Chains A and B, each alone.
Chain A
Amino acid sequence: MSDNVDTSRAPRRIGKPASRVSRLFESRQLGWAAFAIAVLFPFVLASNYAMSIGTTAVIFILLASGLNIVVGYCGLLDLGYIAFMAVGAYTAGILSKAWELPILFTIPAVVGMCILAGLIIGGPTLRLRSDYLAIVTLGFGEIIRLTANNLSVTGGPSGIYGIPGVELFGLDLSAPVPFYYFCVVVVALMVLGSARLGKSRLGRAWRFVREDEDAAEAMGIHTYKVKLAAYIFGAIWGGIGGVLFASHLSAISPQSFVFLQSALVLMAVVLGGMGNTRGVVVGAVVISLLPEFLRDLGNLRYVIFGVVLVAVMVLRPQGFWPSRAYEPEQPKDVKDDAGPGPGAPVATAKEGTP
């Protein structure tokens, strides 16, 4: 086992990074800056096309931050992540069409379905080696797509159309710009939530499991439960992304949920920097906007993506903006026997990063 432990990346020094640049990259105000950019974007470009691309990018950020919980924090490879988005989108679409519900009212059912799907897939496979999870999730993505293709309740190959837009307190938010703002707010909260989760007690357990599962188990972490929790949180994030996706496009079909999409979300997480929310958000924006600029290249752009994925893993496996290996300095007056209470880590990092 000792050959698996790479001590060269262990934290050498506890404390703030020295250089100005790294302090800038670690600044807590960056999240607000990103939020401000997202809010100001429609003032620069408000065409329907730009709004549609912007909304897609924002939903993509949500997916990437959800996958980051599974891949980045917990180190489990999920290759069928888009299936959870499909579960969410189809649940929302079917319920809101069948009972003419406002789409936001379907969210409890969506969350329930995603938890169920996460349990069905994660339950048997998380006890095994992590490789098995990767390939089972790959199969799961196909199962969901084929099932949606074959069942009549999901509309078969043509899918579901005429899904209602978002309505909140009697306000109709289905026009492009209001819907964009709605998505920005929802996604900002969800991204903040995933960043918070990463800093929580559970988040530390996830990173421990990622670094060394046996040691984590020896230290009293119930690794199976912790991994299942990561998987289910990822599923919920994906499901909410599906709800936004369904009401954004107002039509869903099995073609929207192919493996390519899962791979793109994975790529955003890997390129951005696994485990670092800021990096993942930047990665998601780049990956979702890049195909728009490279439209002329056709399928060649996916070849480039594949090569880049291999190259990043070989040359810079931690991604372009990795998470810092140190923990923020704890207040000196915390006594060892008291231990940091559940509120303490939150209090030290109040204005976290969306």
Chain B
Amino acid sequence: MTQLIWNGLFVGSFYALIALGYSMVYGIIKLLNFAHGDIYMLGAFVGFAMLSSVGVIPASMSITALLIVLLLCMLVTGGIGVGIEYLAYRPLRNSPRLAVLITAVGASFTLEYGVSAVAGPNPKVFPVRLEGDSFTVLGARISVPQIVLMVIAVLLMVGLNSYIQRTSMGRAMRAIALDTKGSLLMGINVNKVITWTFFIGSALAGAAGVMAGAYYGKIDFLMGFIIGLKAFTAAVIGGIGNIKGAMLGGLLLGLLEAFGSQWLGGQWRDVFTFGVLIAFLTLKPTGLLGERVTERV
């Protein structure tokens, strides 16, 4: 029982990191960024490329090396996110929604098969494997790497939350989410803020990608597809567009998934998750923390 809860929270913190990017972008420009899951995949591959180019890393240094690579990867994936926004989404800012969604699918496709063309279609083994002692708390086996990754995830989330709440850029983001035109009139540089949003969201997804690569040890070019869907589910559970909701939704989805796969069997885990998504959209489409938005003119 406690083991299930711990596993759920651990997986959930990954979902939360990715869901944050989804939710931020959706909150600000009402775009479902399908390429977001692939940014996570890209993060794992960039980390893979960096670590393999360094060579053999002694086991004692692995956590330090991982942290440095994590930061570098966040910069790279953030930059790629900004590039995608600039090339694919910005020209379509005022287009019909269908065109933007199709563009997002195209961007996701390009990233997936671009990586597969460069790195090869077969799964890769991540060069750094986090290994550590594990101990038992209240009947749950907890390992040191899990705690390290959890702490990193929580730090990133807390940092993001205070960034959004305390800084002027964060205030600008919230203002644009409320009223884009109004904030433009108030002198906010909307394009710059949107660029920053993409940068932060993609950097978080890239961090999650490196962490997942180091923890699970295996990466492939389609790994972002399912996790993108799950992050979206997490964002919907928490109320899409809501930062705290995305964190809550991620953790909750991790828990639901842990119990669901215990109950139905591991092979039904993904089916169960999408069932949860459809149930939420039917019963409470605004999510747990989302506000009711009227979709009328």
Contact = CB atoms under 8 A, between A and B. Distances in A.
Instruction: Identify the interface centre among B94, B107, B274, B282: most chain A CB within 10 Å of its CB.
Output: B274
A310 B106 contact: yes
B225 interface: yes
Interface in A275-330: 298-300, 302-303, 305-310, 313-314, 317
A309 B271 contact: no
A267 to B, nearest CB: 8
Interface residues on A, range: 35 or more
B102 A270 contact: yes
Q: Is the interface of A mostly helix, strand, loop or mixed?
A: helix
Given A259-B225, A299-B116, A317-B99, A305 B274 contact: no
B281 interface: yes
Contacts of A303: 109-110, 113-114, 117
A302 B109 CA distance: 7
Interface in B268-288: 268, 270-271, 274-275, 277-278, 281-282, 285
B88 interface: yes
A273 to B, nearest CB: 13
B297 to A, nearest CB: 4
B236 to A, nearest CB: 8
Interface string A73-88: 0010101000000000
Contact of B102 (A77, A143, A305): A77
A138 B101 CA distance: 12
Contacts of A150: 267-268, 271
Contact of B98 (A4, A130, A308, A309): A130
Given A3-B94, A136-B277, A310-B110, A77 B101 contact: yes
A147 B271 contact: yes
B149 to A, nearest CB: 26
A130 B85 CA distance: 21
B3 to A, nearest CB: 24
B105 A299 contact: no
A102 interface: no
B106 A299 contact: no
B122 to A, nearest CB: 11
A310 B277 contact: no
A298 B32 contact: no
A136 B278 CA distance: 7
Given A150-B268, A263-B105, A266-B102, A135 B229 contact: yes
Interface in A77-114: 77, 79
Given A75-B98, A150-B267, A140 B274 contact: yes
Contacts of A309: 102-103, 105-106, 109
B132 interface: no
A191 B293 CA distance: 40
Nearest to B113: A302
A125 interface: yes
Given A138-B229, A302-B109, A313 B102 contact: yes
B95 interface: yes
Nearest to A211: B96
Contact of A146 (B100, B236, B270, B297): B270
A134 interface: yes
B226 A142 contact: yes
A283 to B, nearest CB: 13
Contacts of A263: 105, 109
A147 B264 CA distance: 13
B117 A298 contact: yes
A132 interface: yes
A306 B88 CA distance: 11
Contacts of A307: 106, 110
Interface in A204-259: 210, 214, 259
B65 to A, nearest CB: 30
Given A3-B94, A77-B102, A139 B277 contact: yes
B227 to A, nearest CB: 12
Nearest to A274: B98
Interface in A115-130: 121, 124-125, 128-130
Q: Which of A129, A135, A274, A302 has the most CB of B within 10 A?
A: A135
B179 interface: no
Contacts of B277: 136, 139
A215 B223 CA distance: 41
Interface of B: 30, 32, 34, 87-88, 91-92, 94-103, 105-114, 116-117, 121, 225-226, 229, 232-233, 236, 267-268, 270-271, 274-275, 277-278, 281-282, 285, 295-297
Q: Closest 5 CB pairs between A and B?
A: A309-B106, A306-B110, A306-B109, A124-B282, A302-B113
Given A79-B105, A131-B101, 9 more contacts: A3-B94, A136-B278, A142-B229, A146-B268, A266-B102, A300-B117, A303-B109, A306-B111, A309-B109
18 contacts: A79-B105, A124-B278, A130-B97, A130-B101, A135-B232, A138-B229, A139-B229, A139-B233, A139-B277, A140-B274, A142-B270, A143-B271, A150-B267, A308-B106, A310-B103, A313-B102, A313-B106, A314-B103
